[in-house]
Amino acid sequence: MLPIITEDISAEVFSEVFPDAQSWRKNMVQYIKEENPEVNSVILEIAKHDEKIDLKAVALGAYLTYRLLDIANNSETAENLEV
For 23-52, the pLDDT digits (tens) are 999 898 888 889 889 988 888 888 777 777
More confident residue, 80 or 18: 18
Cα–Cα distance list, 55 to 9, 20, 52, 73, 77 (Å): 26, 17, 9, 27, 33
- Residue 18 backbone dihedrals phi, psi, to 5 degrees: -65, -30
Percent of the chain residues topping a pLDDT of 70: 93
